[in-house]
Structure 1
């Protein structure tokens, strides 16, 4: 290895001496400087104009505005790419005049490396893509700039990794990781854009909207997988063994995952429970559905906790949906009045008072005060009322109606009884000591 490094160093020194002593090399150095200066001037005058023309308004969220912002991300590449283009022109000139252009070709590769470095360092925001840029793209650009790319690719291609009956070289694996990462990143970005567009379709039922989102996600990533297999030259028929293994796995260890997946599709198709509904399951889990995936449904309780419920539970157990599509819910408040009260007046007083609450509905029924029974201490009533929403969390309907009932009875002079007890002594009453 030391001898190889020494040989590379000697070859590099011979090349450097040839460049330093050659008039053609000095002319190429001059062209490199001129190309860089021209690129700086272009960047100085053209970049502000492009930025001014493409910058949308801050409150513009249209697809065109997003596309313009996406194009603006590439402005840092104007300088190195312009230098690369001018250097390529200079290379063609020197090769036509002197028959050689090794120096300017090296400079062209350096400018391309600077563009790759700026792209990987300043423009990639996704963590996975930044990882690929830092540890794959930049080293590959450096190897290309130094003229070592053929040597690197040859070494990678000659290193074969056996995997049972299959084998692949490191060059193919590197291509697979890079191409697969880019394709699936683009698929994830496309899925995010389609999700935002579908969520804005308020005319669609929530369940239908969720189903469309999931269908788009499956279609996008399915297409990404097929494109990746086609680019890498993998025949789909060769995946038959993998499909059989997956089938065996589903048969033995993945029944629950498959069951939850199918249950998620059924939930989205039927729309009996969707995002925003408040549900209660047989197992006691209760909360608002904040997210539905193909495997689980996430409920958020009013105290901020998230409950992850497998989709299968929504199919195989009893589910109470309190707010399907914002439907109204009925609640009641019980109270008692004294036996001295004219109970015929109580329903009108309470119903009129409760109807003034802004959240109480008149459909499907207006407030209804009913006589429930004759208790030990007073006459028992209950007022029923309908509201949109659940009486929990930020809604305190029952508590507010109790205040209204209390104030209405007080204003009407109606007594709310408290328990009375009659104590009977049999026999002589005991003498009680007198207190001074």
Structure 2
């Protein structure tokens, strides 16, 4: 009975305090202040949305990364302004010793709104966004109502001791939560920084790739150092097993280290860069699309992506078709019958090839760069001819100039009744009788 009386007394006391708060003028002053702050923040955010083109107009696919980042930022401005103004009001109330428990609660709500908008705005992966929302928002709410500290205290008591090594549930959860966030932050910052660097028109492509690679290495080094600090590992102790780590790299991680260092060398010596057309001897060929820490991505003309280890560019020979000059010379072979007037044929083919829009020709073009038709050799069935021409770019699957010229030559030969030879054999039957 005594316990029931204590419960009833506690409930009665709580109701009495609540009724006192509801009739207190300070409570209504706080409510009015909160409404005023939120209305002012919403008004200012709405003004920013309508006044700024960067915020209100959706950017194009090729827009600057900062332009993409600014789009929709008014959704962040609203809770951010509310946080700043409410924090200012709390400082004023603390100086004059006014009641501010409700303002403190509304500040926590504004922080939750801001965090939720951050997740929606910047976390593109839907699964990761849900994970952040289900972890960060409940933690913020528990901190707001004052339950987070007791829960942390309980989790710290749950631990496993292995010799001198102790693992607590709180330490494990902290490393897991911060690890997911830090690696996401490192990856997102690396992609954003790379896009910003590549938009700099005053830098050449090799310099852009070097800066992007160094930024990526610096960010992930920072992430790993912070995560080690969160795990409670003394960073000075890393020097103890630095030698062992070097041996491990020399043996177990030799290939990875070699590819990483090869990638740095490629970027520094500028032998290849993005959009270069690379062809390995008798192997893969394509356009360089991206440099990674371990490999370089080549895109073939049929849309396939080939991951080439960076070490291969150092140890193997390859052709860089567009290293210094995009102007290249190509050749198309064909044959005609022996009875053909070859001199007249050469003039006809030169004129026909010059009609192609991508073939370099004209009076202002040097003679050695104009289309040329010559005899290659005398074959079994006809005269083997070839056409040499210059063009800007690569004659690949997307730019089939060679295929167009073969069709053009075929139609020209038919138009002038010039015979295209085919293998012929004379068979003599000998009869001894």
3-state SS, counterpart of residue 376 of structure 1: coil
Q: Once structures 1 and 2 are overlaid, which stretch shifts more, 57-66 or 121-130?
A: 57-66
**What do the CA deviations read for 1:377-406 (whole angstroms, capped 9, x no partner)?**
332211111223332222111121122223
Q: Which has the larger radius of gyration?
A: 1
Structure 1 residue 78: deviation in Å? Answer: 6.0
Q: Could you report, residue by residue, the CA deviation over 1:354-385 in whole angstroms, capped at 9, with x for unpaired residues?
A: 12222113567222211123333332211111
Q: Report the more deviating stretch, 250-259 or 273-282.
A: 273-282
Distance in 2, Cα, partners of 1:423 & 1:10: 125
Q: How many residues end up aligned between the 2 structures?
A: 414
Q: Which residue of 1 aligns with 2:418?
A: 414
With the length of structure 1 as denominator, give the TM-score of the two structures.
0.78
**Contact 2:65 2:195 (8 Å CA) reproduced:** no
Q: Which residue of 2 aligns with 1:379?
A: 383
State the match for 1:77 in structure 2.
79
2:277 aligned residue: 278
Alignment partners' CA distance in 1, 2:245 and 2:259: 16
Q: CA deviation at 1:219?
A: 2.6
SS at match of 2:256: helix
184-193 vs 288-297, which moves further = 184-193
- Specify the alignment match of 1:433 in structure 2: none
Q: Is the 8 A contact 1:31 1:87 kept in 2?
A: no
Give the match for residue 56 of structure 1.
53
Partner of residue 298, structure 2: 299
Match of 1:124 in 2: 119
> What are the Cα deviations for residues 239-292 of structure 1, in whole angstroms up to 9, with x where unaligned?
224544533432332111111111111111122222222223347222222221
3-state SS in 2 of match to 1:360: coil
1:246 aligns with 2:241: no
SS at match of 1:74: helix
**Structure 2 unpaired stretches of 5+:** none
Contact 1:289/1:300 (8 A) holds in 2? yes
For residues 268 and 212 of structure 2, what CA distance do their matches in structure 1 show? Answer: 12
Q: Is the 8 A contact 1:299 1:308 kept in 2?
A: yes
CA deviations on 1:208-260 (whole Å, 9 max, x unpaired) are 32112101222333345556667887542122245445334323321111111
1:66-85 deviation per Cα after TM superposition (whole angstroms, max 9, x unaligned): 67557524245269748965
Residue pair 1:39, 1:86 contacting (<8 A) in 2 also: no
CA 1:50–1:414 in structure 2 vs 1: closer, same or farther (change >3 Å)? same
Q: Secondary structure at the match of 2:342?
A: coil
Contact 1:280 1:321 in 2 (8 A): yes
Pairs within 5 Å for 1:398-409: 398-409=402-413
Which has the higher mean CA deviation after the structures are superposed, 224-233 or 121-130?
224-233
Shift of 1:324: 2.6
Matches of 1:10 and 1:342 in 2, distance apart?
122
Q: Compared with structure 1, are the counterparts of its residues 89 and 217 closer, same or farther at alpha carbon in structure 2 (3 Å cutoff)?
A: closer
CA RMSD of aligned residues (A): 4.0
Counterparts of residues 161-180 of structure 1 (less than 5 Å): 161-162=160-161, 165-167=164-166, 169-171=168-170, 176=175
Please give the TM-score of this superposition, normalised by the length of structure 2: 0.78
Mark the runs of 5 or more structure 1 residues left unpaired by the alignment: 1-6, 430-436
Q: Quote the Cα distance in structure 1 between the aligned partners of 2:282 and 2:419.
A: 43
Alignment CA distance shift 1:33-1:173 (3 Å): farther
Segment drifting more, 17-26 vs 215-224 = 17-26
